[in-house]
A and B are shown apart, each in its own frame.
Chain A
Amino acid sequence: MQGFTESLVLGAGGLNIGDMIIQLVFFIGLLVLLRKFAWGPLMNMMKEREDYVANEINTAEKSREEAQRMQREASEELKKTRQDAQNIIEDARKTAGQQERDIIESARAEADRIKESARQEIEQERDKAVQVLKDQVASMSVMIASKVIEKELSEKDQEQLINKYIDEAGEER
């Protein structure tokens, strides 16, 4: 066997069974050890990184979408708020105009009312004054008449007397 293999492999040496057994044991041992201590952890780490990266990309994608959505919402909100503000200003302007008109209206009405009442008062006063005058004229007439009756006087005297009373009345006034 040795001679045969020696000639087969260029006379370089025998196929030593011991070497073969040791090679087999070493290689299988190395395979098991490396798998446990080197390749296993390394491959796990690579897998983990792969998962991590995939996860991160997913998360980034999601948060980008979220951000876009929020931006859209915010701009919508802003537009709505602007519209609201516009409406409020418009309303205020309308209300102010209305109030202005109301105030002017009520002021005018008040003025009219005051004027009216003043006029009525004046009228009343005048009526009162006229009444008083009427009363006095009446009483004076009565007095004159009685004086005339009291004194049977001459035409001259009478005239004199009337004038006197008229003057008196005029002075009294």
Chain B
Amino acid sequence: MNRLNHEAPMWKDAFGIEWLDFNLSNVLMMFVASLIVFILGVAATKNMQRYPTGFQNFMEWLIDFIKGIIGSNMDWRTGKLFLPLGLTLFTYIFVSNMLGVVTNGVVGHELWWKSPTADPGITMTLATLVVVLSHYYGVKLRGGKEYSKTFVKPLPFLLPFKIIEEFSNTLTLGLRLYGNIYAGEILLTLLVGLAASGIGGFIGATLPMIAWMGFSTFIGFIQAFIFVMLTMVYMSHKVSEDH
């Protein structure tokens, strides 16, 4: 990763395997994001009560929010199967997006602290996982025959387009998230560079930086929402009867 003049802490050809490369900052940030999400999840449900207070309220609001997304795409009877997936996707992506907004950490010349979602490989992995899962559930819930029929509906000659659609879905789903977050981080890095250039630069950069951080927070939320929304749209294409 070559972001301005920061290097990524790469571990090339890990374990002597030629194609296995690790970006250690990604690994670190994935771990951090997962840990934060897990801690939040456990903290929210540690003192569960029938009359929810504080944090539990927020988590229940979140569940209702994801329920709403799923409910707008498919029947709740099949949709409830995807609630944990949607919740985990949303919280993980949102936390990941926020990690890069709050701060970018550079050690030496290597960029260590950033959004894991600002890496195309990671967002593409998530997107691929989602699309593969949609196919899996399509076969599982509707049977192989019904599943294959979705490729030739409404007209048989659409088959090649349907197949291309699966790949384009994956690409757009992953790259949309990556592009938004990556762009946000680049601009933040530029503004930080400006702020660090001198007194004038600092004064000039403060306001845009605050504004851009606010905007990035908004983008982070919107992108997490869109990712989950599209996930459920693709799921419903494969799973629902009437699509």
**Contacting residues, chain B, for A11 (C-beta < 8 A):** 2
From B26, B84, B178, contact of A39 by CB (8 A) = B84
From A12, A27, A35, contact of B84 by CB (8 A) = A35
**Contacting residues, chain B, for A22 (C-beta < 8 A):** 22, 26-27, 30
Whether A45 and B48, one on each chain, are in contact in the complex, defined by CB atoms closer than 8 angstroms, is yes
B31 within 8 A of A: yes
Whether B27 and A19, one on each chain, are in contact in the complex, defined by CB atoms closer than 8 angstroms, is yes
A64 to B70, CA, bound (A): 38
A23 within 8 A of B: yes
A23 to B129, CA, bound (A): 10
* Most chain A Cβ neighbours within 10 Å, of B22, B56, B83, B121: B121
From A14, A27, A40, contact of B21 by CB (8 A) = A14
Q: How far is the CB of A37 from chain B (nearest CB, A)?
A: 5
B126 within 8 A of A: yes
**Contacting residues, chain A, for B129 (C-beta < 8 A):** 24, 27-28
Whether B63 and A46, one on each chain, are in contact in the complex, defined by CB atoms closer than 8 angstroms, is yes
Whether A31 and B84, one on each chain, are in contact in the complex, defined by CB atoms closer than 8 angstroms, is yes
Whether A30 and B45, one on each chain, are in contact in the complex, defined by CB atoms closer than 8 angstroms, is no
Whether A38 and B63, one on each chain, are in contact in the complex, defined by CB atoms closer than 8 angstroms, is no
Q: How far is the CB of A2 from chain B (nearest CB, A)?
A: 8
- Digit string of A9-21 for contact with B (CB within 8 Å is 1, else 0)? 1011111111110
Whether A13 and B2, one on each chain, are in contact in the complex, defined by CB atoms closer than 8 angstroms, is yes
**Contacting residues, chain A, for B124 (C-beta < 8 A):** 15, 20
B215 within 8 A of A: no
B207 within 8 A of A: no
**Contacting residues, chain A, for B92 (C-beta < 8 A):** 27, 30
Whether A13 and B22, one on each chain, are in contact in the complex, defined by CB atoms closer than 8 angstroms, is no
- Digit string of A69-106 for contact with B (CB within 8 Å is 1, else 0)? 00000000000000000000000000000000000000
Whether B37 and A30, one on each chain, are in contact in the complex, defined by CB atoms closer than 8 angstroms, is yes
Whether B45 and A38, one on each chain, are in contact in the complex, defined by CB atoms closer than 8 angstroms, is yes
A25 to B52, CA, bound (A): 33
From B31, B38, B121, contact of A16 by CB (8 A) = B121
**Contacting residues, chain A, for B31 (C-beta < 8 A):** 26
- CB-CB nearest in chain B for A30: B34
- CB-CB nearest in chain A for B171: A8
B72 within 8 A of A: no
A19 to B21, CA, bound (A): 7
Q: How far is the CB of B196 from chain A (nearest CB, A)?
A: 23
- Digit string of B3-46 for contact with A (CB within 8 Å is 1, else 0)? 10000101100100001111100110011001001100110110
**Contacting residues, chain B, for A48 (C-beta < 8 A):** 50
Q: Given the interface contacts A13-B2, A46-B60, does A34 sit within 8 Å of B38 by beta carbon?
A: yes
**Contacting residues, chain B, for A27 (C-beta < 8 A):** 34, 88, 92, 125-126, 129
Q: Given the interface contacts A12-B1, A20-B125, A22-B27, does A45 sit within 8 Å of B50 by beta carbon?
A: yes
- Digit string of B48-78 for contact with A (CB within 8 Å is 1, else 0)? 1110100010011001000000000000000
Whether B119 and A34, one on each chain, are in contact in the complex, defined by CB atoms closer than 8 angstroms, is no
Within 8 A of A (CB), among B68-120: 83-85, 87-88, 91-92, 116, 119-120
**Contacting residues, chain A, for B20 (C-beta < 8 A):** 17-18
Q: How far is the CB of A4 from chain B (nearest CB, A)?
A: 13
B175 within 8 A of A: yes
Whether A26 and B30, one on each chain, are in contact in the complex, defined by CB atoms closer than 8 angstroms, is yes
Whether B48 and A38, one on each chain, are in contact in the complex, defined by CB atoms closer than 8 angstroms, is no
Whether A49 and B63, one on each chain, are in contact in the complex, defined by CB atoms closer than 8 angstroms, is no
Q: How far is the CB of B103 from chain A (nearest CB, A)?
A: 20
Whether B45 and A41, one on each chain, are in contact in the complex, defined by CB atoms closer than 8 angstroms, is yes
Q: A9-B175, A42-B63, A45-B49 are known; give 7 further A-B pairs, CB within 8 A.
A: A13-B1, A15-B121, A18-B27, A27-B126, A34-B38, A39-B84, A39-B88
